[in-house]
Every structure is written in C-alpha cells, then in structure tokens.
Amino acid sequence: MVNSTLDTIKKRRSITNFFPKSIDEKDLQVVLEAGRWAPSWLNKQPWKFIVVRNESTRLDASCIVPSIFSATIKEAPVFIAICVNPEINPYHFIEEGAAVTQNMALVAQSIGLGTTWIGAFSLTNEKNSTEQKLKDILKIPKKWRLISLLPLGYPKFRGHKTRKELNEIVDWGYFLAREKKVAPQEVAQKESIKKILTPTSTPPI
C-alpha cells in the first residue's frame, strides 16, 4: 500500500527552471494554507507570508539572492517570502519558519507545482547581509526576520535524487559511531591535493 504523503516527500525536488505560466489562484491559496497549518510552539504562529508577483520586485530580489538562484527568481511567476517574529517566540522561530517552508514545498509538489528553498536568514544579522537587503526591498519591519524565499511555478523538468539507506543514518537506543566509507575518487582527490601541498625537496634554511 502506497503512503501518499511519503510519496509526495520522495518526489519533491528543488526546481530552478519554470515555464512562463501564471499560477492558478486556487493553487496559490492551497500552498498558503499549507503554510498556515505549520506547527509552532504553543500554537503562537509567529509568521507572515509575503506573496510577490510584481516583476520589478522579482528583478530586484534576483540581484540579491545567491547568483545560482537569480534566474529562478526571474522565471518564477511568483515567490513567497516567509517571515517570523522572534519576539513572539525567541527560542524556536527559525524552526517554525522552516516548518512553514517545508509544508508549502510539499503541498506544491502534491498539486503539480515546483519550488526551491532559498535560505535568506542571516545568523549574524549583519547590516549588509542578503537577508537585510531583501528585507529592505520587501519593506519588512526591523523586528521581523526573513527565513526563506519560495519561488513557485510549473517546473520545466524534475531531476532524480537518491538518499542514504536507513541503516546508515538510524541508531537504536543510543548514538553509534560509524566509520565513513570513502569513495575511490575522494581518495584520489585527497592524494592529488596532498602532492600539490607537499614540497618535492627540503627548502634551504
């Protein structure tokens, strides 16, 4: 028997290229509703979602996000900014924003849309960080933090990914240290770097 929730989780991919097609309003509402029902400490729900369709704003944002995501922000017909207020829950606001992002991404997958998770949060909250620049564009108040951007659209293609086996990552009862299996190509790469860094002769003193 197939578990539909697990099937959606397994099929979700990070989509960085989208067709130039507008998203149906009902589908957008479904994604936002998924974020609304994310878990939070004592059900505080310390979040706000900013839906950005404006082309000019998307272009501005594309110049600030890491370059690998610039085209993604431009191509997606809409992106959602997930914001949280640390004053409501200073201990768990990051996890709660992440839970919202994951909920949205999974529901998007389930209805045929694609997303990619663009992390925006700055641990040091620096003035010139990506987070602060995006906050300026989106007019996000100072006390609020920006956790992520979620471009949303119809994917041009979906890649294939694998995962580690459960017996590699699951321990029962206590943490079990394992020796990492090193792939042959990784060994060769390390040896190559070692040769480069090791002098061929002893330098004069």
Question: In this predicted structure, what is the pLDDT of residue 204?
Answer: 39
Assigned token pair, 69:
């995501």
pTM: 0.83
* Domains identified in the chain and CATH numbers: 4-153 (3.40.109.10), 166-197 (no CATH)
Longest dimension (CA), the chain: 75
Residue 176: the pLDDT is: 87
List of residues 6+ apart from 34 with CB closer than 8 A = 103, 104, 106, 107
| Cα–Cα distance, 179 to 127 (Å, whole number) | 41
Helix, strand and coil content of the chain, in percent to the nearest 5, comes to 40, 15, 45
What pLDDT, on a 0 to 100 scale, did the predictor assign at position 93?
97
Residues 6+ apart with CB under 8 A from 154: 18, 19, 21, 23, 112, 113, 114
How far apart CA 155 and CA 67 sit, in angstroms, is 19
The answer to whether 145 touches 83, Cβ cutoff 8 Å, is yes
Mean predicted lDDT score pLDDT of the chain: 89
Helix intervals (H) in 40-148? 55-62, 70-75, 93-110, 130-138
Q: What is the DSSP letter of 149?
A: E
Contact between 121 and 131 (Cβ < 8 Å)? yes
pLDDT for the residue 203: 39
Report pLDDT for 199: 43
pLDDT at residue 197, rounded to an integer = 45
Distance CA 95, CA 64 (A): 24
Sign of the torsion angle spanned by Cα atoms 69, 74, 76, 82: positive
Tens of pLDDT, residue by residue over 117-163, are 999 999 988 889 999 999 999 999 999 999 999 999 999 988 888 99
Q: What integer pLDDT is reported at residue 59 of this predicted model?
A: 97
Q: What sign has the CA pseudo-torsion 64, 68, 74, 76?
A: negative
The predicted pLDDT at position 157 comes to 86
- pLDDT at position 185 is 62
Please identify every stretch of the chain with a pLDDT value under 70, giving residue numbers as ranges.
Answer: 1, 179-205
Q: Quote the pLDDT of residue 33.
A: 98
